[in-house]
Amino acid sequence: MNPIIKKFQEAKNNNKLVILEGFHPIKHALRFGAVINKIYTNDIKNLNLLIQSNSPDLTDQFQKKVTLIDTEIYNQLCKHTPKTFAVAIASKPQYYFEESIKKPGVVVFLENIKSLDNFGAVVRVCAARSILAVCLSGTIDPFHSTCLRASRGLHFAIPIFKINTLPKTSKSIIVFDENGTNLTKNSLPKNAILVFGSERVGVSSLTKEKADKIVCIPMQPKVSSLNLATSVAIAIYS
């Protein structure tokens, strides 16, 4: 077996490593301090064009780390071969839960969500808003390559924690539920945990019992729900 292919297969089963699929996840990972030893490409010319047009600030880092490989090998490194000419393996970012959530500000908690793409999109918008942390419960792996692709590598910009239940905290617990009171501008406390459930199931009754406030995003009648990442974006920018 080719040693590079073997390296990527081993990385998939190593909980200390993550696979970055595509130029944009690698770009953001580098900007936020990711530890990446090598970046692999099958097209150095087009990769350089992407670097110069999107992130000239990272030119030196890319040039020091990039290795040109055959397209046949490149196409075997990931389940979904990136069309942006780059893949990499990075060390998983390390954060401390208590330290992250005790700071004043907003934490987003996602209860038992199922979609990898939705989770990645939530991470992306939360990173843009400088949210303290994103926490989630349930079965999905928050560092799955699909999540990292959907977040554009912004897992490295914000602490992410897999937890079983809401943490004990002095923050206000705000649950988003279709039967809550309408969300209005500046109606959310600045020191809070915002809780969202999956699009189909919503937040559990047990978690609702812990809420200091239950709110909903007002929508036109007959509209059943919003995409999870859209709901989170509306909430954190309100």
In this predicted model, what pLDDT tens digit does every residue of 178-195 receive, in sequence order?
A: 999 999 888 899 999 999
Q: Note the pLDDT of residue 150.
A: 96
The model's pLDDT over 21-34, given as tens digits with 9 standing for 90+, comes to 999 999 999 999 99
Q: At what angle do helices 228-236 and 116-128 cross, to 10 degrees?
A: 20
Burial of 198 (0-12, 13-18, 19+ CB in 10 A): middle
173: left (phi over 0), alpha (psi -120 to 50) or beta: beta
CB 156 within 8 A of CB 33: yes
pLDDT for residue 80 is more than 90: no
| SS3 call for 34 | coil
Q: Mean pLDDT over all residues of the chain? A: 94
How far apart (Å, rounded) are the C-alpha atoms in residues 71 and 74? 5
What is residue 78's DSSP assignment? S
Whole-structure pTM value: 0.93
What average pLDDT does this structure show over 148-172?
94
3-91: CATH topology: 60s Ribosomal Protein L30; Chain: A; (3.30.1330)
23-31 vs 44-54: helix crossing angle, rounded to 10: 50
Q: Domains of the chain: which residue ranges?
A: 3-91, 97-236
Greatest mean pLDDT among 87-91, 95-99, 199-203: 87-91
Q: Is the dihedral of CA 206, 212, 217, 218 positive or negative?
A: positive
Q: What number does CATH give the domain 97-236? A: 3.40.1280.10
